[in-house]
């Protein structure tokens, strides 16, 4: 047995290493990132130990109020999230050691963001949580400002991120005040807190949904997710952090708040299902028509977070109807999807980021030749990432997506007709989104990473074994999480045991039909089941037969020829190749009501002569718009107008007017006291 | 309306020829597809000067079928044309170009009997041979019953059918196409233009017979050869023609 | 100085005072000539226009000027700018275009912005080859210049040479030539329809109509010895004759065939799926058809009623009634209807030709030798024939030994390239095959 002091030391070690890294960042970024890697590695270790039941950590910091104190605590629930985040942080820091060619300050900012996320995850009370949340927002703001896009675009993106971030803080504060007013103290985030919220529960739920949804990127707040990443061209390691782990903080916060409720209303579940379903579909749609190698994964994050919210919604409805089997499965599905999404998304950002850096372009239509050692390993890692995000068995993404869909298939078990209908419709939307996201994933991988013109001089890149190492790290985790899914199920059920009060692992992981125990995951009893481990073994065996035959069997000749271009020579420039824009044109045209597609062909520069047409020039354009962005632009215009109106008319700087305001406020307060006290 | 088509089909009967189970009929080998035969009255020198494509060789006293465009000019020089049904339907004009490597050819044929995928490439023809090759898909000949199918891409093809007199602009294209066809592959050249340039030998754009650019397995002379004659050549590749016929 | 008529690529149709005027421009060694054909006067006149107008044709004439062996992209100067625009090569080897020639489609996805025809892959330089050949030998090359238009090409050439030599060609020969030309028209239109049905995956229609086409080819072989009518013509006459009984058989076969075709067409034109592919695709408006000088079923489908059989008839077309209808709608459907209707009218024409065919002489070639032996250097002879794809012009000059000293062929497909490119603007990829088959463009025809 491991004495608890070891856990404590390791836990503090995380903070210490990160702090050292932040301080020494401006001097040497490689050192900073190595410190970050070390700290994240300690985080993996500690969280695994806690999850496996070795012990918990709880540290009281200082007294807040009479009844509550600031705490840092590590229980099984938040150590699950710490595990996921730390795995991402290890890979990202490893990647950044050689990838980063930004100013040294960026390394400090990244480590500061990581530290603040750590604080969020391990905080035991609302105040520490909010401190961490704010620090994270501000550090990310500065991180985004380091982006390499146009100056205007970078500032716009950063300020937008800050605005939405502050908005989320406001709503979270509201939610926390609601909770604390009914619970009575501030340190309700630990496992030992009671959960009785009372009549303002709906208000708390909605504000929490909005507040954490702003960070997760749920429609209609998704602009805070894709715009900063896409338009600022933030550095890839920052984008990976923003998309994968920042949104995970939103998930963690939301789930923590949900766990505090003793009494759940039905319409909460409906709201979460609908909002999550719409986010899933819209995220997938916009992802498949995006041409930005960062914007596309950013939209896909919206889709995946939507899936998590859908799972939580199903949990809420099932809990309302006390269908414990379904509720347990829903919670595990949400947790599992958080794991698989974070890992896959971080890996996708890093893969794309490196290739985009070599090509010096974020445009997916830029198919210049890329070569070098390590590019093929990158392509392999990218392939598995994309397969995982497209839900291909037996990888991580498949298991979690399967779980969510199985969940919605069982919506017939809900108590009343309305819930069943909503569950079915949301299931349909989710399945559609799962199909559309495949277009997006093949696009971003095929055009962004894999294909290029054959002819021409390739862009050089230096050999980067650390970058490749980080991508291989993610690759291993993706495959492991997929193939050894029952093990992750165990971790997730340990994490969820505080919320569910049951041990879901025993219910859902069994042996079936000859497959030995602990290898089959059931989705209901009885409903469906699947063994990822055995699928992986079967695939490996099946695919290795031709490999062995071709290596050791009769020697097959291999002859390589070029591509077939209808008899023409190999294309030398990207404008002769089918490109990513053309690949997703059918979606833009089919869903023109959603995208407001406009096609225009304008003839400039030639006229009809009497008999013949002279060489013509055309300018063609096809544009799609995000209707929510239009709405936000309108709202932003109004907000600016309102604030300038207020600053001109209401607060113009005239002392006499301010005196009037002071007098009016004094009178108001006096009247109020008179009426309430008297 | 469906029953209209079924009834129409039954009423119309079977149009498809039974070739190769039976020899081709007269309607399938038109009168002008018969090559000149040498008679006692044949005057080689006159013939050689009359023939527009120099198919009549007075030195070796033979008619080079690869060059013959079946124009009947040599009738003036005493050559005859055997119109009798017997000989018309029994003469096989397609020729195997691999006499010395027959073993290798047989090995390459492998098990292609039931499925031969063919791509037609035109390198400069007058369009008549194109039509005749595409006519093989109509109900009268129906080449899919013999396991032969048309493809769009050389990467899916087993055999190339080359028609036309090789034009300078198409040499590279032909070579690229040939390279894209995976092994084992076959090449069939259809028509006098592909085999020798035909009437276009003297044009400024003619390069050479196809055999000089890519290795050809079967040569089918004619201008254009009738679809049955093309089918005979395809069956040589398809391994559905008997071996005695092949080595003629 | 000898007239070297080289380029008759460009033409325009105008309505002048109630009649149609077709003007074609020749450009030859610095001088430009206009060929005007008038429906009212039924005459063809040649006049000179200032050379400056000829300079405007630089683009279009590039194709004719090009040397054999180098592919040419018509309209390649077109520039298209926009995000995501790329060029899609529908190259020399493809199944949809079964000849050596291709297109470059400028697109950003599904939408075709511009079509650039890539021609000249097959250019054999026939006009330059035949300089110095005897007319009889040249005929072998001419009829093999475009195999599926063999009767039209050889008739056109033979008529031009006979006019130059002022030979007495027996009427029976001329009427037999017309029968052959109409048979050729029928099988080419059947081929076009079967390819349209194949593009729409209407497999029953494809098989049935291609069986009908095969029947016509077998009729050709039976009555004229060759499936594609090679060897039909001689300078001075024809090599085959059709007796009365043969005529009745032929007419009966064609009639049965056409009736079967009408039944098939009636059924397939009531199929909404098939109609939907044809309607509103590749619209060529009348103004564009006139300005770009489209010919043949293309022009008639866009309501430009030009047909050589009516406008510049050679014997026997002035004696028989040829029913020309123009299409309404200017799209692929209109062109298809024009072709269907032409099959019907060719059947009627063949019947009339066979009924009224003069059986004056058993001899089919001219007995008397050429009457004229001395030519001025500016003398040329011109013949226009309505080939299945449109107006075919051949201009011949002979020298003293009756050898060809100059030849120019202006095929129908050559002038139809730009109308084709124009009609496809703003359509989608799937409309391409229908437009191509309904236009009836052949590379062997245009790259002579």
The whole-angstrom distance between C52's CA and the closest CA on chain B is 32
End-to-end CA distance of chain C: 26
Determine, for residues C108 and A578 on separate chains, whether the beta-carbon distance falls below 8 Å.
Answer: no
Instruction: For B122, name the nearest residue in chain A, comparing CA atoms only.
Output: A567
Q: What share of chain B is helix, strand, coil (3-state, %, to 5)?
A: 40, 15, 45
Is domain C127-411 classified as CATH 1.10.645.10?
A: yes
A561 CB near a chain B CB, below 8 Å? yes
The Cα A470–Cα A348 span in angstroms is: 12
Burial (CB count within 10 angstroms: exposed 0-12, middle 13-18, buried 19+), residue A56: middle
Q: What three-state secondary structure class fits A274?
A: helix
- Three-state SS letters, C43-54: CEEEEEECHHHH
Which sequence spans correspond to the domains of chain A? 584-607+615-625, 628-677
Residues constituting chain A:
678
Angle at A535 between CA A335 and CA A77, to 5 degrees: 15
**CA neighbor of A81 nearest in space, from A161, A180, A189, A4:** A189
How far does B141 lie from chain A, in Å, by closest CA? 28
Contact list, A555 vs chain B (CB under 8 Å): none
Strands in A515-522's sheet, in edge-to-edge order, are A509-512, A515-522, A529-530
Give how far B123 is from chain C: nearest CA, Å: 6
A-C interface: how many C-beta pairs under 8 angstroms?
119
CB contact under 8 A, A564 and B180: yes
- Tell me how far apart the alpha carbons of residues C142 and C145 are, in angstroms, rounded to a whole number: 5
Residues 6+ apart with CB under 8 A from C139: C154, C157, C158, C233, C234, C235
- CB-nearest to B167 from C100, C126, C145 is C100
Q: Which of C326, C215, C217, C329 is nearest to C264 (CA)?
A: C215
DSSP B22-64: S---GGGS-GGGSPPB--TT--HHHHHHH-TT--EETTTTEE-
- Give the residue from chain C lying closest to A583, CA to CA: C109
Flag whether residue A558 sits within 8 Å of chain B, measured between CB atoms.
no
Does A557 contact chain B (CB < 8 Å)? Answer: yes
Please write the tens of the pLDDT for every residue from A552-610.
776 667 788 888 988 888 887 778 888 889 898 888 888 888 888 888 877 765 544 33
| Best to test chain B binding among C70, C91, C98, C219 (most B CBs inside 10 Å) | C98
Contacts of A673 (CB under 8 A, 6+ apart): none
Asked if C151 contacts C181 with a C-beta cutoff of 8 angstroms, the reply is yes
Query: Concatenated DSSP letters for A178-243?
Result: HHHHHHSSS--SSTT-----GGGHHHHHHHHHHHHHHHHT-TTSTHHHHHHHHHHT--HHHHHIII
Please name the residues in contact with A405: beta carbons below 8 A apart, sequence gap of 6 or more.
Answer: A427, A430, A431, A434
Disruptive mutation site among A558, A564, A568 for chain B (greatest number of B CBs within 10 Å)? A564
Based on C-alpha coordinates, what's the Rg of chain C?
21
Q: Tell me the shortest Cα–Cα distance from A504 to chain B, in angstroms.
A: 53
Residue of B nearest to A557 (CA): B183
3-state secondary structure of C6: coil
Q: Which of A263, A238, A60, A286 is nearest to A136 (CA)?
A: A238
CA–CA dist C305, C15 (Å, integer): 11
Instruction: Please give the pLDDT value at position C42.
Output: 43
Contact C81 A585 (CB under 8 A): no
Identify all chain B residues contacting C204, using CB atoms and an 8 Å cutoff.
Answer: 5
Radius of gyration of chain A (CA): 27
Say if residues A376 and A470 touch (Cβ distance below 8 Å). no
Give the residue among A262, A256, A304 at the shortest CA–CA distance from A495: A256
Please indicate whether, in this complex, the C-beta atoms of A579 and C84 are within 8 angstroms of each other. yes
CA atoms within 13 Å, Cβ hemisphere of A300: 37
CB atoms within 10 A of CB B171: 16
Which residues of chain C neighbour A620 with C-beta distances below 8 Å? Answer: 80-82, 85, 108, 113
Indicate the pairing of strand B116-122 with strand B159-163: parallel
DSSP B169-200: GGHHHHHHHHHHSPSS-EEEEESHHHHH-GGG
Give the Cα separation of A97 and C416 in Å (integer).
Answer: 63
Instruction: Decide if C75 and A613 are in contact by the 8 Å CB cutoff.
Output: yes
Q: Please give the pLDDT value at position A520.
A: 78
Closest chain B residue to the Cα of A564, Cα to Cα: B180
- Residue A359 is predicted with a pLDDT of 81
DSSP output for A633-657? HHHHHHHHHHHHHIIIIIS-S-HHH
Residues of chain A with pLDDT under 70: 1-2, 149, 191-198, 231-233, 372-373, 454-463, 501, 554-556, 604-617, 678
A28-34, long-range: CB within 8 Å, 24+ apart, which pairs?
A28/A104, A29/A96, A29/A100, A29/A104, A29/A106, A29/A107, A30/A97, A30/A98, A32/A104, A32/A107, A32/A108, A32/A111, A33/A93, A33/A94, A33/A96, A33/A97, A33/A100, A33/A107, A33/A110, A33/A111, A34/A93, A34/A97
Q: What is the largest CA-CA distance in chain B?
A: 65
Residues A12, A39: Cα–Cα separation, whole Å: 10
Query: How far is it, in rounded angstroms, from Cα C152 to Cα C161?
Result: 14
What is the biggest distance separating any 2 CA atoms in chain C, rounded to whole angstroms? Answer: 70
- Beta pairing partners, A599: A622
Residues of chain B with Cβ-Cβ distance to A561 below 8 Å are 179-180
| Stated length of chain B | 248
- Which CB contacts under 8 angstroms, 24+ apart, belong to C267-276? C267/B1, C267/B4, C268/C197, C268/C202, C268/C205, C271/C202, C273/C200, C273/C202, C274/C197, C274/C200, C274/C202, C274/C205, C275/C333
List CB contacts (< 8 A) between A569 and chain B: 172, 176
Average pLDDT of every residue of chain A: 84
Q: Running DSSP on this structure, what letter comes out for residue A244?
A: I
Rounded Cα–Cα distance for residues A336 and A330 (Å) = 10
DSSP state letters, C144-187: TTSGGGHHHHHHHHHHHHHHHHT----HHHHHHHHHHHHHHHHH
Within 8 A by CB and 6+ apart from C61, the residues are: C7, C9, C10, C27
Query: Rounded to an integer, what is the distance from CA A177 to the centroid of its chain?
Result: 27
Kindly report the CATH number that applies to the domain delimited by B95-246: 3.40.50.12280
Asked whether A422 and A274 are in contact (CB, 8 A), the reply is yes
Helix locations, A484-617, DSSP H = 485-500, 504-508, 532-552, 580-583, 585-590, 592-595
Check C56 against A612: CB less than 8 A apart: yes
Q: Do B176 and A557 touch (CB under 8 A)?
A: no
Closest Cβ opposite residue C83 in set A577, A581, A588: A581
Of A580, A589, A611, Cβ closest to residue C56: A611
Mean pLDDT, residues B191-215: 91
- Judging contacts by C-beta atoms under 8 Å, the chain C residues touching residue B150 are 95
Instruction: Give me the residue spans of the domains in chain C.
Output: 7-62, 69-119, 127-411
- Residue C400 near chain A (CB below 8 Å): no
Chains that touch B (3 or more CB pairs under 8 A): A, C
The nearest alpha carbon in chain B to C92 belongs to B173
Contact A400, A333 (CB under 8 A): yes
Predicted local distance difference test score (pLDDT) of residue A567:
87
Q: How many CB atoms lie within 10 A of CB C358?
A: 12
Contacts B5 to C, Cβ<8 Å: 204
* Residue A50 DSSP SS3: helix
In contact, C301 and C339? CB cutoff 8 Å:
no
Domain boundaries, chain B: 35-81, 95-246
Q: Is the dihedral of CA A469, A475, A478, A481 positive or negative?
A: negative
Q: Which residues contact A248 (CB under 8 A, 6 or more apart)?
A: A81, A84, A85, A338, A342
Output DSSP code: residue C227. Answer: T
- Residues, chain C: 448
> Which residues lie below 8 Å from residue C438, measured CB to CB, with a gap of 6+?
C192, C196, C278, C282, C297, C301, C332, C335, C336, C339
Q: Which residues of B touch A564 (CB under 8 A)?
A: 153-155, 176, 180
* Angle made by CA atoms C264, C265, C271, in degrees to the nearest 5: 100
Cα nearest neighbour of C131 on chain B: B203
Q: One digit per residue, pLDDT tens: chain C, 448 residues?
A: 222 233 444 556 666 555 555 666 655 444 555 555 554 444 444 444 333 333 333 333 334 455 677 787 776 667 788 888 899 999 899 988 999 999 999 998 888 988 888 888 998 888 888 888 988 899 999 999 999 999 999 999 999 888 888 888 888 889 999 999 999 999 999 999 999 999 999 888 899 999 999 999 999 999 998 999 999 998 888 888 888 899 999 999 999 999 999 999 988 888 888 999 999 899 998 888 877 778 899 989 998 888 888 877 788 888 888 888 888 888 999 999 999 999 999 999 999 999 988 876 655 665 556 666 666 666 777 788 899 999 888 878 888 888 888 787 888 888 888 889 889 988 999 999 999 999 999 999 988 7
Please say if the pLDDT value at position B184 is more than 60: yes
Taking only Cα atoms into account, the Rg of chain B, rounded to an integer number of angstroms, comes to 19
């Amino acid at each position: 047995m491991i004495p608890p002091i070891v856990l404590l030391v390791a836990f503090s070690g995380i903070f210490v290493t990160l702090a050292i890294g932040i301080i020494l960042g401006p001097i040497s970024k490689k050192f900073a990132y190595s410190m970050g890697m070390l700290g994240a590695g300690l985080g993996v270790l500690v969280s695994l130990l806690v999850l496996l039941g070795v012990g918990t950590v709880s540290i009281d910091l200082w007294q807040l109020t009479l009844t509550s104190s600031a705490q840092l605590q590590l229980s099984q629930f938040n150590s699950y999230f710490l595990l996921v985040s730390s795995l991402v942080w290890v890979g990202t820091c490893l990647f950044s050691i050689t990838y980063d060619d930004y100013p040294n300050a960026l390394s400090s900012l990244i480590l500061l963001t990581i530290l603040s996320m750590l604080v969020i995850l391990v905080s035991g009370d609302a105040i520490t949580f909010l401190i961490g949340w704010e620090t994270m927002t501000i550090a990310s703001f500065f991180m985004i400002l380091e982006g390499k896009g146009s100056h205007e675009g970078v500032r716009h993106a950063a300020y937008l991120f800050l605005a939405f971030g502050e908005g989320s803080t406001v709503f979270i504060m509201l939610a926390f005040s609601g909770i604390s007013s009914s619970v009575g103290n501030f340190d309700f985030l630990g496992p030992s807190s009671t959960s009785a919220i009372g009549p303002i529960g709906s208000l708390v739920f909605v504000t929490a949904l909005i507040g954490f949804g702003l960070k997760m990127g749920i429609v209609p707040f998704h602009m805070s997710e894709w715009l900063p990443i896409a338009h600022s061209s933030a550095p890839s390691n920052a984008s990976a952090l923003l998309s994968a782990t920042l949104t995970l903080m939103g998930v963690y916060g939301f789930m923590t708040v949900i766990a505090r409720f003793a009494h759940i209303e039905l319409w909460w579940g409906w709201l979460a299902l609908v909002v999550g379903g719409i986010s899933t579909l819209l995220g997938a749609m916009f992802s498949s028509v995006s041409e930005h190698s960062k914007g596309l994964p950013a939209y896909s994050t919206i889709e995946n977070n939507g899936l998590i919210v859908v799972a939580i919604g199903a949990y809420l409805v099932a809990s309302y109807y006390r269908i414990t089997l379904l509720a347990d499965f829903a919670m595990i599905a949400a947790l599992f999807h958080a794991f698989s999404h974070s890992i896959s998304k971080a890996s996708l950002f890093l893969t794309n980021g490196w290739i985009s850096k070599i090509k010096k372009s974020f445009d997916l239509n830029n198919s210049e030749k890329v070569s070098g050692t390590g590019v093929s390993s990158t392509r392999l890692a990218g392939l598995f990432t994309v397969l995982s995000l497209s839900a291909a068995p037996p990888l991580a993404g498949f298991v979690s997506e399967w779980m969510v869909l199985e969940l919605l298939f069982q919506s017939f078990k809900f108590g009343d007709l309305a819930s069943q209908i909503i569950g079915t419709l949301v299931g349909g939307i989710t399945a559609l989104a799962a199909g559309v996201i495949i277009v997006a994933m093949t696009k971003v991988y095929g055009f962004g990473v894999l294909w290029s013109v054959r002819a021409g001089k390739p862009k050089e890149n230096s050999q980067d074994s650390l970058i490749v190492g980080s991508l291989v790290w993610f690759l291993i985790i993706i495959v492991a999480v997929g193939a050894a899914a029952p093990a992750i199920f165990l971790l997730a059920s340990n994490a969820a045991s505080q919320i569910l009060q049951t041990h879901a692992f025993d219910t859902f992981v069994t042996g079936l039909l000859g497959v030995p125990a602990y290898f089959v995951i059931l989705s209901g009893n009885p409903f469906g089941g699947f063994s990822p481990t055995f699928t992986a073994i079967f695939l490996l065996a099946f695919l290795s037969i031709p490999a062995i035959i071709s290596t050791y069997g009769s020697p097959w000749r291999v002859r390589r020829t070029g591509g077939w271009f209808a008899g023409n020579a190999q294309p030398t420039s990207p404008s002769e190749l089918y490109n990513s824009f053309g690949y997703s044109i059918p979606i833009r045209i089919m869903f023109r009501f959603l995208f407001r597609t406009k096609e225009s062909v304008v003839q400039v520069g030639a006229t009809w002569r009497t008999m013949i047409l002279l060489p013509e020039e055309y300018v063609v354009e096809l544009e799609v718009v995000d209707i929510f962005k239009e709405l936000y632009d309108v709202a932003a215009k109004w907000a600016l107008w309102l604030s300038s109106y207020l600053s001109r008319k209401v607060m113009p700087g005239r002392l006499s007017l301010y005196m009037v305001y002071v007098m009016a406020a004094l009178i108001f307060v006096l009247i109020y006291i008179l009426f309430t006290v008297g | 309306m469906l029953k209209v088509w079924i009834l129409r089909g039954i009423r119309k009967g079977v149009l498809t020829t039974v070739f190769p189970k039976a020899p081709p009929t007269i309607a399938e080998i038109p009168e002008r597809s018969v090559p000149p035969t040498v008679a006692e009255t044949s005057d080689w020198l006159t013939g050689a000067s009359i023939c527009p494509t120099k198919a009549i060789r007075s030195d070796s006293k033979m008619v080079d079928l690869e060059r013959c465009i079946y124009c009947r000019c040599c009738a003036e020089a005493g050559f005859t044309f055997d119109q009798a049904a017997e000989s018309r339907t029994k003469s096989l004009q397609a020729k195997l170009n691999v006499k010395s490597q027959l073993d290798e050819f047989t090995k390459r044929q492998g098990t292609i009997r039931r499925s031969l995928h063919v791509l037609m490439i035109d390198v400069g023809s007058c369009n008549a041979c194109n039509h005749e090759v595409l006519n093989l898909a109509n109900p009268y000949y129906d080449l899919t019953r013999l396991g032969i199918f048309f493809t769009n891409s050389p990467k899916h093809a087993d055999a190339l059918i080359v028609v036309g007199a090789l034009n300078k602009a198409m040499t590279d294209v032909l070579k690229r196409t040939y390279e894209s066809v995976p092994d084992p592959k076959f090449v069939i050249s259809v028509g006098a233009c592909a085999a020798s340039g035909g009437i276009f030998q003297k044009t400024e754009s003619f390069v050479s017979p196809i055999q000089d650019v890519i290795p050809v397995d079967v040569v089918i002379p004619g201008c254009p050869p009738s679809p049955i004659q093309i089918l005979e050549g395809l069956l040589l590749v398809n391994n559905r023609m008997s071996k005695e016929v092949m080595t003629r | 100085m000898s007239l070297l008529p080289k380029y008759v690529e460009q033409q325009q149709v105008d309505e002048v005072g109630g009649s149609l005027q077709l003007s074609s421009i020749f450009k030859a060694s610095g001088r430009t000539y206009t060929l005007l054909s008038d429906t009212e006067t039924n005459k063809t006149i040649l006049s000179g226009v200032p050379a400056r107008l000829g300079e405007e044709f630089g683009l279009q004439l590039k194709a004719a000027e090009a040397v054999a062996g180098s592919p040419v992209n018509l309209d390649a100067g077109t520039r298209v700018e926009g995000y995501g625009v790329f060029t899609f090569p529908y190259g020399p080897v493809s199944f949809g275009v079964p000849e050596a020639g291709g297109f470059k489609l400028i697109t950003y996805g599904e939408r075709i912005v511009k079509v650039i025809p890539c021609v000249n892959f097959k250019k054999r330089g026939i006009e330059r080859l035949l300089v110095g050949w005897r007319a009889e030998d040249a005929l072998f090359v001419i009829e093999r210049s475009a195999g599926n238009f063999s009767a039209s090409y050889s008739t056109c050439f033979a008529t031009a040479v006979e006019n130059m030599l002022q030979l007495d060609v027996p009427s029976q020969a001329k009427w037999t030539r017309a029968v052959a030309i109409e048979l050729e028209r029928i099988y080419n239109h059947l081929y076009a329809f079967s390819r349209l049905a194949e593009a729409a995956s209407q497999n029953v229609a494809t098989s049935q109509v291609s069986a009908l086409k095969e029947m016509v080819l077998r009729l050709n072989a039976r009555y004229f010895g060759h499936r594609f009518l090679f060897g039909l013509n001689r300078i001075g006459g024809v090599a085959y004759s059709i007796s009365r009984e043969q005529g009745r058989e032929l007419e009966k076969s064609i009639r049965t065939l056409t009736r079967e075709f009408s039944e098939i067409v009636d059924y397939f034109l009531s199929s909404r799926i098939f109609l939907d592919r044809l309607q509103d695709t590749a619209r060529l408006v009348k103004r564009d058809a006139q300005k770009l000088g489209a010919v043949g079923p293309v022009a008639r489908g866009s309501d430009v009623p030009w047909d050589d059989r009516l406008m510049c008839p050679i014997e026997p077309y002035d004696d028989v009634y040829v029913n020309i209808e123009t299409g309404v709608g200017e799209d692929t459907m209109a062109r298809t209807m024009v072709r269907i209707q032409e099959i019907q009218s060719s059947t009627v024409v063949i019947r009339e030709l066979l009924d009224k065919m003069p059986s004056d002489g058993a001899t089919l070639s001219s007995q008397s030798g050429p009457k004229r032996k001395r030519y001025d250097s500016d003398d040329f002879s011109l013949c226009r024939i309505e080939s299945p794809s449109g107006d075919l012009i051949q201009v011949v000059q002979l020298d003293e030994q009756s050898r060809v000293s100059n030849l120019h062929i202006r095929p129908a497909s050559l002038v139809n390239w730009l109308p084709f490119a124009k009609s496809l603007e703003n359509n989608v990829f799937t409309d391409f095959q229908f437009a191509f088959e309904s236009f009836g463009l052949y590379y062997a025809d245009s790259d002579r």
